[in-house]
Amino acid sequence: MGVRLAQRPSARKRNPSFGFRGRMIFRTTKLSGACVIEVEPRGDERGHFARTFCEREFEEHGLPIRFPQCNLSFNKRSGTLRGMHYQAAPLREAKVVRCTRGAIYDVIVDLRADSPTRFEWVGVELTEDNATALYIPEGFAHGFVTLKDATEVFYHMSDFHRPEGARGARWNDPRFDIRWPFPAGGPSVIAERDATYPDFDPEQFDG
């Protein structure tokens, strides 16, 4: 059987949904420092190829370029909620979160005492199809709910995780007023630790 070589599409035949510069797109959010990172795939008949990290591009946008630890979260069922998690000072960490299988509604809350958007939140749908990532600066709480069964979430971490700094706030803390995409009764699956977190305590955040 002969092998058919994949041809790069001519300019006339290129799929307009595919970028051909290969650079990432950094979109700011209403929360200072937090941004959505979109990819620009290069496509042909094999599929597509996209850059998801570049030291130079991250540095140009003021993002960290050192990520000494990566984590993978697997979630069996749709409606699984994890959060809201944060690290107390001085053990705060930034992260880049991407959904590699399935879909999530990813939520961040600005906890920084000197921020004009303190206690405001942003939610972004991350899916295996859109390949979008969310950059979360230090000083934020983070959580997500899965929108599909068998969902995987991949994290780049700016520092080694230190469990002694791990803290959390209630996913439905009225101070945050997060509008989660599930019925009023709450998530389908949640760990006891996450379900029993108290409302946000600034003293816990400051270490």
Active site residues: 85, 155
Tell me the C-alpha to C-alpha distance, in Å, between residue 129 and each of 4, 39, 126, 166: 26, 11, 8, 31
